[in-house]
Amino acid sequence: MAQYDEIVKHLMHRYADAFAMLSFGTPDVQVLETLDTEQQTVKVHRNDMTFKVLWHNEVVLLHIEVQTEDSRDKPMPLRMLAYASELLLRHELPVYSVVIYLSPNAGQTDPSGYSYGNDVFGLQYKYQVIRLADLEGESFLEAASVGLLPFTPLMKPPEGMDAETWLEKCVEKTVAAPVDSQTRGTLLFAMTTLSSLVHDLTFLQRLISEEMMREFPFIEHLKQQGARENSINNIQSVLTTRFPQSDVQGIEHALESIQDLEYLSTLLLTAIDTPSVEVFLQELNGSET
């Protein structure tokens, strides 16, 4: 999921209204605000996207998780329940949750909820499951919003149309979208990244040239983000290897707030030389004040 995560979140943030309409199945929804996705559970975790929206004249929260495949660590219903519970506790607003599955084989057994007990004791929790492979892609090609165009190659093509013809149609529609060149580059790069889940990249690269994506500043952002994540992982790996009996999870949150790659490189050298995790954390906290 890592190679898709940043571009999906970028699209959801930029085209929040389109994803809200997809989630609720109606244009009668308005995104008011994008909320911080960090949730302070037993371990700090970021859900994919949470929006404050106006739906049926009521302010509610829309929480969207995007999955390339089925959840492995924990069953998806339990994960969704945990996210929704934390959001409800923090904001005291109704929470409507959605899981969007990208890969065609993912989400087929997702029960879209979790329940136990009876009328006296128990719990019943429901969320929406959207499998892109089940959606009629042509309707999204004709929709007014361009934000979902990168996802159309993962959707169902018109009956009788083969995969290559469908992919070509998706690219043509995106190239012709009424947007500026940088936005078009963003959409095409996102389409290339997401299409690799189900389509032949060789054919796709013939359809989308590098020239089409040249004016695309988000590529540099992704490179920076990848380098940043590698630096953070390297710091944690060094500390875990040197101090296997120590808990380094507490450091993760502090590192996640650092954007400066040069500073992260310095912290890696500090991690190699530090006498203990506690000393490293003290130096880290001291440098932030």
Q: DSSP per residue over 130-192, as a string?
A: EEGGGSBHHHHHSSS-STTGGGGGGSBPPTT--HHHHHHHHHHHHHTSSS-HHHHHHHHHHHH
**Global pTM?**
0.74
pLDDT, tens digit, 9 for 90 and up, residues 162-214: 999 999 999 999 989 998 888 888 888 888 889 988 887 777 777 776 555 55
| Helix 217-242 vs helix 2-14: crossing angle, to nearest 10 | 130
DSSP assignment of 261-283 equals: HHHHHHHHHHHHH-S-HHHHHHH
Confidence grade of residue 115 (pLDDT, cut at 50, 70, 90): very high
Residue 9: closest CA among 59, 43, 40, 47: 47
Contact 106, 66 (CB under 8 A): no
How far is 150 from 186, CA to CA, in rounded Å? Answer: 9
Contact 252, 286 (CB under 8 A): no
Residue with the bigger pLDDT between 252 and 185: it is 185
Tokens of 18: 């389109």
pLDDT at 117: 95
